[in-house]
Amino acid sequence: MLVRARDVREIAQSVCGLVKRLVGADGVTFVLSEGELVYYAEEESPERLWKGRRFPANQCISGWAIMNRQTAVSEDIYADPRIPINAYRPTFVRSLAMVPIGHEEPLGSIGVYWARNHKATERELFLVEMLAEASLAALTRAVLQRDVEDLQSRLAPVEGRPHDEEEPSLARFIPLVAHDLKNPLGAISLASQSLIRSGALAGNELVNVRRILSSVERARRLVEEVLEYARLKARGGLPLDLEDARLDAVARSVVEEARTAFPGRRIELVAEETSGTWDSHRLAEVLANLLGNALQYGHPERPVTLRVETREGESCFEVHNFGPVIPDELLPVLFEPFRRGRSDGHCSVGLGLFIVNQIIQAHGGRIRVRSTLEQGTSFTVHLPRCQMQPIDPPLECTH
């Protein structure tokens, strides 16, 4: 889906396919704004339209939607003065809707075409506008991903510069982009939930909107990880809200949420009563991350096990799954920022395990990982049962 797309081409292809299926259009185009020009980056159509071509923005309907920051609907293109008829005459198009991607400064537009006279309905426009918001978020995320990777390469250790010295622009750039992503993602989420609750969808349409909602939620978690990373860098440590808590109760709550999110998966909880002084919300974040990774990467027909117990005066929990092993060369750097254990299309910029490790170290604990084909993959966390003051963890994890 959109949230997994890593470049403009993948985003454009996904959007064109989704729009065509959701509204039953005969053709769809994905147009990008290039200042005074518009570029038809992608299309899904029974015959070739304008893919790969550029036009003056002030001479086409896609440019009109972008410059006016509003949706254009034309039931009869031959009666609409905004439309350059000569460009459309050789095509099948008789009616269209053009929706801008974004409102304040649109990045482009999505064109929806019908081979008959048809006035786009409110429902059809709602669906396309929702996907336009999703496109805006996906395009922004793709830019963020590209720039983060570029900054990573620039931050590689060089002679004369300490390993942990950060490019100042990275600390400024990440939170700004992440904050900008939150609003469109929130709007898409609310719109998707509203559409599902309305009961207006059924069959494949309902499935597709549920997939959009699921993808948006993953993107929102990614944004929260990026913001958490920025906060960690700004504070130089992780503050905790310590309280008396039951680790087994926290684990049980996280497992219940995971079973709802992964209804077809088998999750086993083996927990003994374990009390201590911790930040229970932060520990729930750790458990949810480790359990979510195990469910995503583990073998779909094998169980994922969460075990909570006391060992030699410490509280421990272990998340175990069977599936592909983590390569040996990644184990020493697995908890470093912007590291990803596997490149299999899951939405991640490699901050989840870094934040997990920061939370555990702030509690005075430690985490270990073991991954073999025979025994599976286990993440084991050891925590002191009474950490009276939070420990500010170093931003570079120790191995």
CB atoms within 10 A of CB 163: 9
Query: Cβ contacts of residue 199 below 8 Å, gap of 6+?
Result: none
pLDDT in tens, 212-228: 766 666 666 666 666 66
Query: According to the model, what pLDDT value does residue 135 have?
Result: 84
Decide if 110 contacts 99 (C-beta within 8 A).
yes
CB atoms within 10 A of CB 176: 11
- Give the pLDDT of the chain (399 residues) as one tens digit per residue: 444 545 788 889 989 988 998 899 999 999 999 989 999 999 999 999 999 999 999 999 999 999 999 999 999 999 999 999 999 999 999 999 999 998 878 899 999 999 999 999 998 998 898 888 888 877 877 666 665 555 555 545 544 445 444 444 555 555 555 556 666 666 676 667 777 777 767 777 777 777 776 666 666 666 666 666 666 666 666 778 888 999 999 999 999 988 877 878 899 999 999 999 998 988 998 998 899 889 988 999 999 999 999 987 889 999 999 999 999 888 888 888 766 555 444 545 567 888 899 899 888 899 999 999 999 999 999 998 765 455 554 444 333
Q: CA-CA-CA-CA torsion for 393, 346, 102, 87, nearest 10 degrees?
A: 150
Query: According to the model, what pLDDT value does residue 163 have?
Result: 46
Helix (H, G, I), strand (E, B) or coil at 289: helix
Query: According to the model, what pLDDT value does residue 299 have?
Result: 92
Amino acid of residue 389: Q
First-to-last alpha carbon distance for the chain, in angstroms, is 35
- Which two tokens mark 77? 């293109």
